Chain A
Amino acid sequence: MTSLAPGRALRAAEPSAPPTRGPRRRRASSRRSLLGLAMASPALLLISVFFLIPVVLTFWMSLHNWPLLGNPRFIGLDNYTRALGDDNFRSALKFTLIYTVVITPVLLVLGLFLALLVRRPVRGARFFQSVYFMPVCIGLASGSFLWLYLGQSQIGPLFDLLRRVGLVNSSSNLFAGGSTALGLVIAMVTWKVVGLQMLLLLSGLQSIPDEVVEASRIDGAGLWQRFLHITLPLLRPTLALVLVFSVAGSLLAFDQFFIMTGGGPSNSTITAVYQIYRISFNGFRLGYGAALSVLLMIILAAVSAVQMLLLRNTDHN
């Protein structure tokens, strides 16, 4: 199935393949750029059809009342005016922001802690690095199904642990409370992605020249002072990068809430993407879903722009 597109490229490329016979360099180079075009075109074709066209179409659809079946009707900016007064979307956005604001510092702090911990030239350190990074290769969806069981009332092992420690009583249900459900999701996501933050921060730490730290040590700075005034500022570009990753990932959260909480209890854990999913594919209001997608893109772009600024300000050190 996938051999279709590359096959076409190879066939298109073959006639111009032997460059050794072209005596004139001009012809050889124009052949070469033709070959380049042929080789790049399957990839460019897929990106255009399945990504760029949908991006453009998002804006177009957002100006229509677009049912799943039947004819779309142009309604101008009505979808947008409706979105601004849409309480469901507004509360989904609010919840997404809360989730992002809560989980981001957790990931940053724990990621930094792990990075500092495993930054040791000891044989064991590499092993611990790979263990902490391992859940990164597990899917968010399968991780969610795993933790759905872990935290399940009575039968779940994590629930059982919490019960033994006395944090919950045996009749409670963690998924029935908004904050406990959110706590479980955050625990799962942290387990699953903190290894990536660790890895990125570790490579940032390793790029800090030892002489700088050494010099400050000779100047009499204590460990904590060195961390605060030397390591942390020099790590800022990496920290900003990790921040961008974690914020973008959290703003687009869907799988973990769809699987672990189903948006509940009483719709309190519905994220922005989840709400778009419900509008487009449960309510089949594709035009309105597209308008919400555009708004989400604008929010993401704004957040990214702010973070880019942060990155740029710290880049020249």
Chain B
Amino acid sequence: MSSMIGDVRATVPRAAWWVICIALTVMFLYPIYVMLAMAFKGPAEAGLIPPTLFPNDLSLANFRRLGSVQGLNVFGNVLNSVWVTLGATVGTVVLSTLAGYAFARARFPGSGILFFLALATFMIPFQAVITPLFKVMQVLHLNNSLLGLAIVYITFNLPFGLFIMRNSFAALPASLEEAALVDGCGILGAIRSVLLPVVMPGVITTALLTFFATWNEFFAALILITDQDKFTLPVTLTLVSSGQFGTVNWGSLQAGVALTIVPCIIVYVLLQRYYVSGMLSGALK
């Protein structure tokens, strides 16, 4: 074993290490536990001061009440989030796979510069261009539209997807594709049936990063969507937290937060291998 690890072991006794790690685990998971506990408390218990640590009995009342906050149709807003996220994820994956292949394998005059330019948009934060983007959306009649929002999300996620997919295709041996072409597939057929399965890890990483970025996105959704019934979930929560008749229903708010967070956690637990490797490859480029 390496010396450094040996040292750490010698200086931090095993038991102390476990105690520290478990204490930190409790701290990291505590907010998530509190959110779930609050979401499933009954209305009376949810308003108790001081708050109870364990719910006395579980209830779905907060979720039901969430459906009627300020005349909102929150479950319609959940669907909005689902559609925008799905559309943006599929769109980003398809466009970056096509373009990634082109930049790696079917270069054209200027492709190097265009790839560099596409990646350079990484350097400019979209927060800084939101004002003119709002104007562009207005001109194209895409403002206050979920389709428009999905297109904007695809654009924001493309540089990263392009980077991952170009590298995935570039790492493949040329012989693989040639063999498929000799076998009589067209180029698109070769991509679909031979190359795509091999670059699948890149596709999954791109899809995951787009999923998380889109499902959780707040700033652009807040600005580009103005109708309540077109809001995505995170923006909808601002209405829940601004309260009805001056009082905020904290139980319902946590029910809404749970609806936003739980899908992310499930996807993370199932696919964390790809997510973590994607984060690393993106950051350490």
Contact = CB atoms under 8 A, between A and B. Distances in A.
A50 B155 contact: yes
A46 B95 contact: yes
Contacts of B152: 50
29 contacts: A2-B88, A2-B151, A3-B94, A5-B91, A39-B98, A39-B102, A43-B98, A43-B118, A54-B132, A120-B5, A120-B17, A133-B272, A134-B28, A135-B32, A138-B216, A139-B260, A139-B261, A142-B261, A148-B253, A154-B50, A163-B50, A200-B283, A213-B3, A231-B4, A241-B284, A255-B218, A276-B127, A280-B130, A281-B223
Contact of B5 (A52, A119, A152): A119
A40 B103 contact: yes
Interface string A1-31: 1110110011001100111100000000000
Given A37-B102, A138-B261, A293-B128, A245 B94 contact: no
Contact of A297 (B3, B128, B151, B218): B128
B284 A137 contact: no
A55 to B, nearest CB: 5
A179 B216 CA distance: 27
A245 to B, nearest CB: 7
Contacts of A191: 27-28, 31
Contact of B99 (A43, A60, A116, A154): A43
Contacts of B8: 116, 119-120
Nearest to A254: B219
A51 B98 CA distance: 19
Contact of B279 (A43, A47, A114, A199): A199
Contacts of A281: 134, 223
A223 interface: yes
Interface in B101-121: 101-103, 105-109, 111, 114, 117-118, 121
Majority DSSP secondary structure for residues of A touching B: helix
Given A49-B155, A146-B31, A297-B125, 15 more contacts: A6-B91, A32-B187, A43-B95, A43-B158, A124-B18, A137-B264, A146-B35, A147-B31, A150-B31, A213-B4, A231-B4, A276-B127, A276-B130, A296-B128, A297-B128
Given A20-B184, A133-B276, A149-B38, A36 B106 contact: yes
Interface string B19-48: 011001101110110110010000000011
Contacts of A210: 2-4
Contact of B186 (A18, A130, A139): A18
A33 interface: yes
Given A47-B155, A51-B121, A40 B111 contact: yes
Contacts of A259: 218, 238, 241
Contact of A61 (B50, B132, B215): B132
B39 to A, nearest CB: 10
Interface of B: 1-5, 7-9, 11, 17-18, 20-21, 24-25, 27-29, 31-32, 34-35, 38, 47-51, 53, 87-88, 90-91, 94-96, 98-99, 101-103, 105-109, 111, 114, 117-118, 121, 123-136, 140, 147, 150-152, 154-156, 158-159, 162, 181-182, 184, 186-189, 212, 215-219, 222-223, 234, 237-238, 241, 250, 253-254, 256-257, 260-261, 264-265, 267-268, 272, 275-276, 279-280, 283-284
Nearest to B183: A20
A165 B275 CA distance: 38
A133 B217 CA distance: 19
A307 interface: no
Contacts of A199: 276, 279-280
A122 B284 CA distance: 25
Contact of B264 (A10, A119, A138, A147): A138
Contacts of A14: 188
A141 interface: yes
A35 to B, nearest CB: 5
Nearest to B133: A54
Interface residues of A, number: 112
Contacts of A18: 186
B259 to A, nearest CB: 9
A118 B22 CA distance: 12
Nearest to B283: A200
Contacts of B184: 20
A43 B162 contact: yes
B265 A138 contact: yes
B50 A289 contact: no
A132 interface: yes
B159 to A, nearest CB: 7
B150 A2 contact: yes
Interface string A146-174: 11111010111110100100000000000
Contacts of A19: 181, 186-187
Contact of B216 (A43, A139, A147, A258): A139
Nearest to B212: A137
Contacts of B212: 137, 139
Given A156-B51, A199-B280, A150 B151 contact: no
